Chain A
Amino acid sequence: MRPAILSVLMLLTWHQRTLAQEDMKTTMYGYINSYSEKSENQAMLKGAGTSTTRGQAQNNVAYEVRDIHFVMQSTLGDRFKSFLNLRAPGANGVEVSNAWVEAKLAGDYLSFRLGKMYRPFEIYNEILDAVPTYIGIEPPELFDTDHLMVTRTTNMMFHGITGAGDGLIRYAVTTGNDERSSNELPVGVDVRYIKDIKWTFGTSAYTSGGNAKPINEYVIGGGSGSPEGGVLPWMDSDQYNVYGAYAQYLDDRFTIQASYFIADHKAQRNLAAVQDMCNTASGTPLNRRQQSRFNCATAGSEDVDGDYQVKAWYVRAGYNLPAGNYGNVTPYLQYDSYTNEETIQDEDHGGDNEAGQSDDGHTEKWTAGMVYRPLTPVAVKADYSLHNQDVMGKDGSYGEVRFSLSYYWRM
């Protein structure tokens, strides 16, 4: 017994010395993003089911502390890393955005990460929290919280970087709980080529690996809220794939980004959910396309075959103008296009109040704005967007003004 205890003590002493010799560094960061928006009065679908009519919504000025983030990164030598990202959306309550540990398995070539993490996907999924650093206020439609194409977070990742000529290839394979029904293996992949920092070309793909189910299931009468992934709340099951490509150019003057993604869904709707949406007394507003897709006209024979496709693409460009000791100013232009045949208008039921009210499920957004950065940690952003969509046979375009002030801190 004694040799065993001695061995354990020796091992612990050795372990303590090893830890002491290793260089542990912990850094804390965070940011606060205050936000305000005012939309012009917007055309809306009113009523429920087959008795839906065209109306108008009164939009007031909205103020909010959209995000408060507290971030902590810790490294132990050059092999282990941990990361914690706490978020207080709307300054109410705290949720864990990211919490993971990582071990390097083969230098920069291969690392293993486990916990809750943003999946590498397209240009924006990982950096969406870094509001002060990018042009624009709203995320691209791909990551709009009303209609995510895929869950932003996952649980396990193998990733690495390798040299390729003058550039680098960064690769990542992810899996996790995501939206799987039971034993499915959802897989995400991202591969990007980065040349001289200026050029990035990448592709991302995701498969649900079989049946997926909504994280926020449909609630009769409303209340499910926005989907947390690619599966709409009124689906019983959904096998889906997302794929696309993106590119970025960055130099001391220009930032240019473009991205194109498609999601193919083979889904089965929940009959009770469809019947609830179609209900003319207690249901939700549906335009003719949606009534037809759900076959609302024939009570008891509503359509549960929910196959559909989503397309999202954008182009963003900014031009950096140094303003001497006053910082720099970056005017920017953005165009976003989004098409979703399946979504509905009511956000409380998991819909989207743009594509969901559009006659053909298509909406587009033109944005012009400016970022003023007096110092690196501070970003003052203002922009105007013109949303274009047809609502019940008429033009449903409306404008929206946004203002954002964000501050990044580091300890």
Chain B
Amino acid sequence: MTNRLIKIVIAYAFLFSETLLAQDYAIIANLNLAPVSITKSELKNIMFGNKTSFSGSSAEPCLLGSKDGNAFFETILGVSKIQFNQEWVKKELTGAGRAPKVRETAEEVIACVAAAKGGIGFIPAPAASKADGKVKVLTLND
């Protein structure tokens, strides 16, 4: 009985983690920016405001604020969304930068990235087809 219970728990945990891992994101950037790829640490530093320029332009991150964007913070930035926001409150209260813009839908994030010369953001991978011609999709390298 105990073994069966353990198997069920492990299977559930595996299923749950698969769901999280399957949540994939496309990193999008303004068409004016030259790079076709970005490293994970470069992306983190831009999102946390430690790096304020990207490919010679002032980096202007746009975030997806809806629930569809939650896993991005944990799987790619390595912090919870709440902690991410807290880090930005710290930065704003010390003059270290201004928090990224937040948009509620993938379409709005695409428009936000397209409008800023140094625009960079993320959207759920399935929504990347909506980005055709408006923004470019960057390859995310480790």
CB contacts (< 8 Å) of A25 on chain B: these are 98
Contact A133 B80 (CB under 8 A): no
Given A107-B53, A108-B51, A252-B80, also A127-B94 (CB < 8 A) = yes
A408 to B87, CA, bound (A): 13
Contact A108 B53 (CB under 8 A): yes
- Across the interface, A27 reaches (CB within 8 A) one of B48, B79, B83, B92, namely B92
Contact A328 B95 (CB under 8 A): no
Residue of B nearest to A195 (CB): B41
Contact A166 B80 (CB under 8 A): no
Given A130-B89, A167-B41, A168-B50, also A252-B78 (CB < 8 A) = yes
B72-111 contacts to A, CB under 8 A, are 73-74, 77-80, 82-83, 85-87, 89-90, 92-96, 98-99
A189 to B45, CA, bound (A): 23
Contact B95 A129 (CB under 8 A): no
Residue of B nearest to A253 (CB): B80
B44 adjacent to chain A (CB < 8 Å): yes
B39-87 contacts to A, CB under 8 A, are 41, 44-45, 48, 50-53, 58, 73-74, 77-80, 82-83, 85-87
Give the most central of B53, B90, B92, B99: most A CB within 10 Å. B92
A167 to B51, CA, bound (A): 11
Contact B52 A83 (CB under 8 A): no
Chain A 98-140, CB within 8 Å of chain B: the 1/0 string?
1010100001100000000110000000110110111000000
A31 adjacent to chain B (CB < 8 Å): yes
Q: What is the interface residue range for chain A against chain B?
A: 35 or more
Residue of A nearest to B77 (CB): A197
Chain A 218-257, CB within 8 Å of chain B: the 1/0 string?
0000000000000000000000000000000011100000
CB contacts (< 8 Å) of B82 on chain A: these are 320, 322, 327-328, 373, 376
Q: What is the interface residue range for chain B against chain A?
A: 20 to 34
A69 to chain B, nearest CB (A): 7
- Across the interface, A73 reaches (CB within 8 A) one of B50, B87, B92, namely B92
CB contacts (< 8 Å) of A380 on chain B: these are none
A111 to chain B, nearest CB (A): 10
CB contacts (< 8 Å) of A85 on chain B: these are 93, 95
Given A75-B98, A196-B78, also A408-B53 (CB < 8 A) = no
A130 to B41, CA, bound (A): 26
CB contacts (< 8 Å) of B50 on chain A: these are 161, 168, 170, 194, 197
Contact B51 A133 (CB under 8 A): no
A81 to B91, CA, bound (A): 14
Contact B93 A196 (CB under 8 A): no
B95 to chain A, nearest CB (A): 3
A317-369 contacts to B, CB under 8 A, are 320, 322, 327-328
- Across the interface, A197 reaches (CB within 8 A) one of B48, B52, B95, B99, namely B48
CB contacts (< 8 Å) of A410 on chain B: these are 92, 99
A198 adjacent to chain B (CB < 8 Å): yes
B23 to chain A, nearest CB (A): 15
A384 to chain B, nearest CB (A): 23
CB contacts (< 8 Å) of B78 on chain A: these are 196-198, 251-252
B113-140 contacts to A, CB under 8 A, are none
A73 to B93, CA, bound (A): 9
CB contacts (< 8 Å) of A75 on chain B: these are 98
A27 to B44, CA, bound (A): 23
Give the most central of B48, B73, B82: most A CB within 10 Å. B82
CB contacts (< 8 Å) of A130 on chain B: these are 89-90, 93-94
- Across the interface, B90 reaches (CB within 8 A) one of A117, A127, A161, A322, namely A127
- Across the interface, B79 reaches (CB within 8 A) one of A77, A127, A133, A250, namely A250
A156 to chain B, nearest CB (A): 15
A71 adjacent to chain B (CB < 8 Å): yes
Residue of B nearest to A69 (CB): B93
Residue of A nearest to B74 (CB): A252
Can you list 19 pairs linking A and B with CB atoms under 8 Å apart? A25-B98, A29-B93, A75-B98, A78-B53, A130-B89, A130-B94, A133-B89, A133-B90, A133-B93, A168-B45, A168-B51, A197-B50, A197-B79, A252-B73, A252-B83, A327-B82, A328-B80, A328-B82, A410-B92
Residues of B within 8 A of A (CB): 41, 44-45, 48, 50-53, 58, 73-74, 77-80, 82-83, 85-87, 89-90, 92-96, 98-99
Known: A83-B95, A107-B53, A130-B90; 13 extra A-B contacts, CB below 8 A, are A31-B93, A71-B92, A71-B95, A73-B98, A117-B95, A126-B96, A134-B90, A197-B44, A251-B78, A251-B79, A252-B83, A376-B85, A376-B86
Closest 8 CB pairs of A and B: A83-B95, A78-B58, A376-B85, A133-B86, A252-B80, A130-B93, A130-B90, A126-B94
